[in-house]
Amino acid sequence: MKTTKICCIGAGYVGGPTMAVIAQKCPNIKVTVVDINESRINAWNDADLNKLPVFEPGLDSIVKEARGRNLFFSTDVDTAIDEADMIFISVNTPTKTYGKGKGMAADLKYIELCARQIAKVAKENKIVVEKSTLPVRTASAIKNILDHTGNGVKFQILSNPEFLAEGTAVQDLLKPDRVLIGGDTSEEGEQAIKALVDIYANWVPKDKILTTNVWSSELSKLTANAFLAQRVSSINAMSVICEKTGADIKEVSKAIGMDSRIGPKFLKASVGFGGSCFQKDILNLVYIAKSYGLNEVADYWEQVILMNDHQKNRFSDNIVRTLYNTVSGKKIAFLGWAFKKDTNDTRESAAIKVADNLLNEQAHVAVYDPKVKEEQIYADMDYLNSRHSVENRALLKVNSDPYEVCKDAHAIAVLTEWDEFNTYDWQNIYENMQKPAFVFDGRGLLNHKELEEIGFIYYKIGRGTKV
Ligand code: NAD
Ligand code: UDX
């Protein structure tokens, strides 16, 4: 079975980059990415590559190469489904905000809508690939809908979770640690698995393409994110002890990371992990565990989230406490709003919670981020529903000049580890701030010796003040 046409439903942070790379590496396959969000599709089609809806280093040149050749972005979902041999579902699966499982379970309404639309449109056999992150056993629900509402054609469901991280998506897609494909163990299932393996084999070494049963594949994605997030919460928990004892988390991370059983990655203490995946996927895992009555398992993983909430709150608490227990009317400059560097994504960014806490204390927050747009920052604040949007706009200002943002500030908070922050003229920034001038480095990014020599009072996550 040779795939000649692929459709991907969902042109977001996963669908867009993933399909761009497939199209680049498989010039003989026509790849159409569809979305109901017209403005997003227009942005993917924009002649100005700076206007692509997803900022990822290296993505613009791949889109430039493949778009219009064998990569297409469209709002015509039905036509793309009808034409395709293989359909990827890459829609959002956010945490439910209503009903049973509110605040925990994954909201699968977008997935179900896709399944129903595929069933309605498909007039020939299709392979349906779960690219979205889904609770274990979702494939059986999708199969049920497809088989009971379709036109009598046959569907094979594969699970092919995506492991890319934002900010490094292109590199992760070009050189993945592994590609995971779960499928049915029947002969048809194995043929479907082979069809997807053949696509990835165009650029991924065969030994990195792992095939499993569907349930292992679905559960592996949740497990990977839980393990990664758990490492961040573990190191953040140790950062609190460092601050109390005079140890330095950077030194502790290095010391433990050199143990080959632990490894050096994902041991950076921070103001707390963000992003659209970690919190959502762990909550989902907790919900699944609870639904099987596995309360101890649920409590174990929930702690990762609780520690992360604590890390964000204690960062803002520390700012208030250090600024003599009041930030009312004081300007606090935020460097960074994205949840990590090299992305314009702000979902669950620690900056949002820290800003909210400081606005509750009547601080004036000024924000600079090199890639996040002003309207996104206000949308993030309004989404919390903590105060009227007029008040958010009065208390929080966004500026495209970092020096203006820091001018007259009592303190600077570093929320994202953008490289450019290290290239700033810190002497100049110091001279234009209120004194004493504080820096709260939530990413351990800046050169503390340089800053302290200039005169800043510098606080870094995980650096003890006792010597
Ligand atoms: P996203 O919100 O950026 O994109 C999802 C897109 O799907 C949106 O543009 C939305 O309009 C579209 N959509 C929703 N319902 C639709 C429908 N019925 N028809 C057509 N389009 C529809 O989400 P994302 O970050 O790309 O994540 C997608 C999935 O991939 C999620 O399950 C997520 O957990 C998973 N994932 C995300 C990442 C990441 O880094 N963002 C990494 C790995 C896996
Ligand atoms: C994550 C997974 O890494 C990826 O495999 C999955 O497909 C999607 O979820 P992403 O959320 O895009 O990717 O970025 P990631 O690099 O994992 O960072 C997540 C958060 O953890 C960020 O806020 C980051 O700043 C934080 N982090 C990461 C730390 O605070 N310390 C670290 O050592 C690593």
Structure token pair of residue 421: 């922050």
Report pLDDT for 1.
Answer: 72
Answer yes or no: pTM beyond 0.95.
yes
Q: What is the pLDDT of residue 247?
A: 96
CATH number at residue 137: 3.40.50.720
Are 50 and 190 part of one and the same domain? yes
C-alpha closest to that of 379 among 367, 368, 393: 393
Average pLDDT over residues 6-23: 98
Q: Are residues 424 and 281 in the same domain?
A: yes
pLDDT at 467 over 70: no
Q: Identify the pLDDT of residue 466.
A: 54
Helix (H, G, I), strand (E, B) or coil at 374: helix
368 and 277 fall within a common domain: yes
Q: Is residue 228 part of a domain?
A: no
Residue to mutate, 8, 9, 13, 118, ligand 1, most ligand atoms under 8 Å from C-beta: 13
Residues 199 and 259 in one domain: no
**Does one domain contain both 252 and 195?**
no
172 in the same domain as 310: no
Residue 464 pLDDT level (bands cut at 50, 70, 90): confident
pLDDT digits (tens, 9 = 90+) for 318-332: 999 999 999 999 999
> How many whole angstroms separate alpha carbon 106 and alpha carbon 416?
27
Q: How far is the CA of 270 from the centre of ligand 2 (A)?
A: 11
331 lies in some domain: yes
Tell me the average pLDDT across 333-358: 98
User: At 89, which helix (H) or strand (E)?
Assistant: strand 86-89
| Residue range 187-241, pLDDT digits in tens | 999 999 999 999 999 999 999 999 999 999 999 999 999 999 999 999 999 999 9
Asked if residue 36 and residue 161 are part of one domain, the reply reads yes
Query: 399 and 274 in one domain?
Result: yes
In a domain, 186, yes or no: yes
* 199 falls within a domain: yes
For residue 211, tell me if it sits in a domain: no
Q: What is the pLDDT of residue 368?
A: 98
The answer to whether residue 215 sits within a structural domain is no
With a 6 A CB cut-off, is 314 part of the ligand 1 pocket?
A: no
Domain that holds residue 43: 5-204
Q: Does residue 339 belong to any structural domain of this protein?
A: yes
**Residue 291: count of CB within 10 angstroms of its CB:** 14
Q: Are residues 296 and 443 in the same domain?
A: yes
Number of H helices, E strands in the chain: 18, 14
* Nearest residue (CA) to ligand 1, atom 2: 92
Mean pLDDT of the chain: 97
Q: Is 277 in the pocket of ligand 2 (CB under 6 A)?
A: yes
**Number of independent structural domains in the chain:** 2
Same domain, 300 and 364: yes
